Amino acid sequence: TQLLEQSPQFLSIQEGENLTVYCNSSSVFSSLQWYRQEPGEGPVLLVTVVTGGEVKKLKRLTFQFGDARKDSSLHITAAQPGDTGLYLCAGAPGGGNKLTFGTGTQLKVEL
């Protein structure tokens, strides 16, 4: 059983469209992180959400942590080809630094 389920698994959209990626769990996390991974590279941290209900914005990316700290979402406004990549949520069950990663969402943004 995967601890962190992401949806959708794959997403192919046109430039300028909006999209939302979801990360869900039955477990409570003290924090959740979102990463983006491009081909041939390691994951790069985008944001960490800590407080239930927290909303963080990073340019066109909006991250939200659920009130119960069991889920999170990533919303991208006006997607661009440079947003293409694998988006991963991750958390450390019970706290600490040993991350459990979500199932991943492969995003492709086309011109």
Q: Kindly list the residues in this chain that would bind other proteins in the complex (CB under 8 A).
A: 33, 40-45, 48, 88, 90, 97-104
Coil, strand or helix: which one is 11? strand
The smaller minimum CB distance to other proteins, of residues 48 and 84, is found at 48
Helices (H), the chain: none
Minimum CB distance to other proteins, residue 83 (Å): 19
Minimum CB distance to other proteins, residue 2 (Å): 8
Minimum CB distance to other proteins, residue 43 (Å): 5
Beta-bridge mates of residue 50:
none
The smaller minimum CB distance to other proteins, of residues 98 and 111, is found at 98
Cis peptide before 8 (omega within 30 of 0): yes
Task: For residue 27, give the DSSP letter.
Answer: S
Residue for token digits 């979801």?
22
Minimum CB distance to other proteins, residue 78 (Å): 27
Instruction: For residues 62 and 80, give the distance between their C-alpha atoms in angstroms, rounded to a whole number.
Output: 15
The smaller minimum CB distance to other proteins, of residues 14 and 97, is found at 97
